[in-house]
Structure 1
Amino acid sequence: MKIAVENIKCGGCAGTITKKLAATFNTTKIEVNIEQGIISIDLDESKKDELVQVLLALGYPETDSVHGFGSAKAKAKSFVSCAIGKMDQ
Structure 2
Amino acid sequence: MKTEKITIANLKCGGCETTIKKALLKIEGVNSVKIDHEKDTVNVIYDDNVDREKITNKLHSLGYPEAT
CA RMSD of superposed structures (Å): 1.8
CA distance in 1 between counterparts of 2:52 and 2:39 reads: 19
Q: What does 1:7-86 align with in structure 2 at a 5 Å threshold?
A: 7-43=10-46, 44=48, 47-64=51-68
Identity of aligned residues (%): 31
Structure richer in strand, relative to its length: 2
Shift of 1:6: 0.4
Letter paired with 1:15: T
Q: Which runs of 5+ in 2 are unaligned?
A: none
Structure richer in helix, relative to its length: 1
TM-score (norm 1): 0.65
The alignment of Structure 1 onto Structure 2 pairs a total of residues equal to: 64
Q: Which runs of 5+ in 1 are unaligned?
A: 65-89
